[in-house]
Amino acid sequence: MGSVRSLRAVKEGEGIGQMMSLAFHPLAEVLPLIEGSEFDELVNSIQTNGLRDSIITLDDKILDGRNRYRACLKAGVQPRFEPFTGSDPVAFVADKNLRRRHLTCGQKAMAVAKFAMLSDGNPHRNLTAGIPAVKTIPEIAAMAGINKESVSDAKTIQANGTEEEIASVVNGAAAISTVAKEVRARRDDAPDAVIRGCRIAVPDGMTVSEMVRGGMRLEGRDETVAAVAKQLGMSVQTYVVVRDAILLSRRDDLSKKDIDDVVQALCEIDEIRQVGTTRNIIIPIAQKIWGRKGNRHHNRRSEQFDNAISFLLHTCENAVDIIIPYLNHARADGAVKQLSAAETSLRKLRERIREAQYE
């Protein structure tokens, strides 16, 4: 949406012409925007009758009312904002949109699959901070009034469909069951999609990742990894890979590529009920974050990094107050050379941080 300005500037009466675009909250972006004649009708309505319903914000981002906001800008009408005051923004957005908007079953199912990812520890968790309720797919599906089979179809399409197939369902142009059937057939016919070995046995209505999350809660009660894996009926290696994928999906310090790879891996594990080749995706990312034998539950590497950066910052800030005594040429030249070496090291560190962020 371009650059973002605080709501304070808008509330203080900044003109429409000068007002900069507000960001959309990730929960709001789950659903498609209205376009074409439907959007034109909304613009005309606001021009004629004004803005009837306030635009709801969360963390200075639009949670509900993206279309009303866009229509206000086009109509030249000052938007009116209200902060979200509830305790469950996922339920709020689902209720306001999935039940009240004229969406196809496929559009709702695609939205439900995304809602579940946003509210259950996916890479966007940092963008939805403050959401206390962890929503399962069945819970959100119930809010939308659709069945879990449609949500399963949506996950299949999101994980394995082409951009055109995903867009056709999101835009309501194609039936979700038809597209999912085509995607599954193509995936199952692919030479590299042959399933080897036994599938992971999961209870009805549950996914592999949901079952492993239950195992992680047992670990929190001091159960060993081996004991948990045995209770779940899977090997230790399989349990660790799925657990690491879930833990990685909750982090906010991964690169975009790693985020996409982790989400894709979790979707594939839930779909085929096997770890398969996803272990080759998850293990390198896990080792990069925790090392080969790092403790997943105590983020020592992240803490050490934060502490080192904080130490460097405070050291540099304090350096400006150093009392400089009389220095002969040799001591002054030596000190300058040491500072130059420090600057070079800091520059290299900055470059490494940037590479880690954008790789």
Report which of 117, 249, 113 is spatially closest to residue 180, judged by C-alpha positions: 113
**Helix H or strand E segment including 83:** strand 81-83
Q: Tell me the CA end-to-end span of the chain in Å, nearest whole number.
A: 23
- pLDDT digits (tens), the chain, 359 positions: 333 334 444 444 444 444 446 788 888 877 778 888 888 999 999 999 888 889 999 888 898 999 999 999 888 888 889 999 887 787 788 777 776 667 788 888 888 777 765 544 333 343 344 443 445 667 667 767 777 778 778 878 877 778 888 888 888 888 888 888 888 887 665 544 434 446 788 877 788 888 898 888 887 777 788 888 888 888 888 999 999 999 888 887 788 888 888 888 888 888 888 888 888 889 889 888 877 766 665 555 566 677 788 888 888 888 888 888 888 988 889 889 998 998 998 888 888 777 665 43
Class of domain 7-85: alpha beta
- Integer-rounded Cα Rg, in Å, for the chain is 25
Q: How far apart are CA 22 and CA 14, in angstroms?
A: 13
The phi and psi torsions of 55 (rounded to 5 degrees) equal -90, 125
Q: Is the pTM of this model over 0.85?
A: no
Per-domain boundaries in the chain = 7-85, 90-191, 323-358
